[in-house]
Amino acid sequence: MGRTKINVILLIILKLFLVDTTTGEETCENDREMDKLCGGHTYKSVKPLLDYFKQVRNELDQSEIKEKHISEINADLMIKYHEIVGIHEKLMKEAFQLDEYKNKIIRKENNLQLCQSKVDKLESEINSQQTTINQLTLHLSDKSNKLEICENQLKKLNSSVIEKDEKISGYSATIQNITEYQKTISLKLEERLTMLFKKDKDIEICHAEIIKLNRTSHNNIPSNCLPFGEHPGVHEIEVSGVGSFDVLCDSQLAGPGWIVIQQRIGGEENFTRDWATYRKGFGSLDSDFFLGLEKMYRLTSQQQYELYIHLLAEDGNIFYARYDDFKISDEDHGYALSLGKFKGNVWDAMRIHENMKFTTFDRDNDLFYDNCAVWNNSGWWYNDCFACNLNGLYDEGLYCSESANYLKETKMLIRPKEDKNK
């Protein structure tokens, strides 16, 4: 009987455990039923166990609810995860596009820097060309009164060049075209100047012949300074082709009978002169002067002349150079220089100028890539450009040979060779 009660109690407990939900009335009913089956004492002993089973059942129910809720949350999380993956892929795609845009911007910036470098280089070339144009304009503006018509034409052309240059200052290629255009104009101007020079030359020849015909009393005028050996100073001589003119005779530096053809003793005379002025001669016989290329040609074409160069350095040392066959060609051949054999106490610096035509700022006959007369502000028998320049700027360019250094005084003298004192 006791065993049967125990089995009944266990069945009741199992039934209670398997019930999904119980109400308060059902619990009380079960309690009464258990109390009848087991008696008050037995039920009271088993009741704590029953309560524990109820608690376990409730916790299991809550655990199932939580698991179901967790499953729903996991499902939501998976949806959110897929959404996040989609957003991430979209962001990666946009980031890739952004990198491409950045690379394009970098390439464009590099191209811009290259363009800027080219622009800077072009601006530098333009400035250099503008400087050259300004120099040429400055020198071309210094014309003689006899060339006023040509000078006005040149000013108009320069004005046109400047106007075009201002409009296209940003393009070096156009500057080059303007430079070529100016060179063409210079060549045309040089041709016109040559025509004028030839006319002046013819006029001078005619004038000299007229003087010669009208002054028959001057038949005894000498053609050099040899007759004035004992009386140096300014004397009149007469040379075929140019007539009579005054010269400075010297008998102190190297013996009697020398004609001074060039002298620098004070720096007062401007030697930045054009072709026509160097051809005719300029300066004062008692100061700085240049006798004139045409007179030198006429003198040295009559007979053999020797050349004596006197140099006084800034430190007081005196140097000389002597050549036994000095002459220059006619104007059609550019008054080319010939020297002969050398003798002196300095380096033969004039030798590199031999056979060179005379160059002025308006007639370039040198071998330099530019005009040496423009660079050195004087006319001379330039090569590329000079080792000896006795017509240079007095305070900074009067130079001849390594020994003499900068010079304080220079003189060029010529004398017929066959009549020199031995």
Tell me, yes or no, whether 297 and 414 share the same domain: yes
15 pLDDT exceeds 70?
A: no
Tell me, yes or no, whether 129 and 146 share the same domain: no
Boundaries of domain holding 179: 141-214
- Region 272-290 average pLDDT: 96
Tokens (6 digits) for 216? 């028959």
Tell me, yes or no, whether 304 and 351 share the same domain: yes
176 pLDDT exceeds 80?
A: no
Tell me, yes or no, whether 277 and 367 share the same domain: yes
Partners of residue 389 on adjacent β-strands: 399
Q: What per-residue confidence (pLDDT) applies to 4?
A: 61
Tell me, yes or no, whether 161 and 308 share the same domain: no
What rounded mean pLDDT belongs to the chain? 83
Question: Distance (Å, rounded) from C-alpha 152 to C-alpha 308?
Answer: 42
Partners of residue 234 on adjacent β-strands: 248
The per-residue pLDDT for range 334-365, each reduced to its tens digit, is: 999 999 999 999 999 999 999 999 999 999 99
Question: Distance (Å, rounded) from C-alpha 285 to C-alpha 280?
Answer: 14
Task: Tell me the percentage of the chain whose pLDDT exceeds 90.
Answer: 40
Tell me, yes or no, whether 257 and 383 share the same domain: yes
Tell me, yes or no, whether 148 and 256 share the same domain: no
Of 134, 167, 198, which closes a domain? 134
Q: Pick the closest to residue 390 from 358, 367, 420 (CA basis).
A: 358
Tell me, yes or no, whether 257 and 394 share the same domain: yes
Total length of the chain: 422
CA 5 to chain centre: 122
Tell me, yes or no, whether 411 and 284 share the same domain: yes
Which residues fall within 8 angstroms of residue 216, CB to CB, at 6 or more apart? Answer: none
Q: Is 380 helix (H, G, I), strand (E, B) or coil?
A: strand
CA angle, 214 then 258 then 351, to 5°? 115
Of 95, 111, 134, which closes a domain? 134
* CA within 13 Å, CB half, 93: 6
194 pLDDT exceeds 90?
A: no
294 pLDDT exceeds 90?
A: yes
Q: How confident is the model at residue 217 (pLDDT cuts 50, 70, 90)?
A: very low
Of 90, 116, 134, which closes a domain? 134
Number of structural domains, the chain? 3
Tell me, yes or no, whether 260 and 373 share the same domain: yes
- Region 181-197 average pLDDT: 78
Between residues 59 and 20, the one the model is more confident about: 59
Q: Is 348 helix (H, G, I), strand (E, B) or coil?
A: coil
Tell me, yes or no, whether 231 and 369 share the same domain: yes
Full-model pTM: 0.51
Q: What per-residue confidence (pLDDT) applies to 45?
A: 72
Question: Distance (Å, rounded) from C-alpha 245 to C-alpha 285?
Answer: 12
Q: How confident is the model at residue 191 (pLDDT cuts 50, 70, 90)?
A: confident
Partners of residue 235 on adjacent β-strands: 247
Tell me, yes or no, whether 227 and 364 share the same domain: yes
Q: What per-residue confidence (pLDDT) applies to 21?
A: 47
The per-residue pLDDT for range 49-108, each reduced to its tens digit, is: 777 878 888 888 888 898 888 888 888 888 988 888 888 888 888 888 888 888 888 988
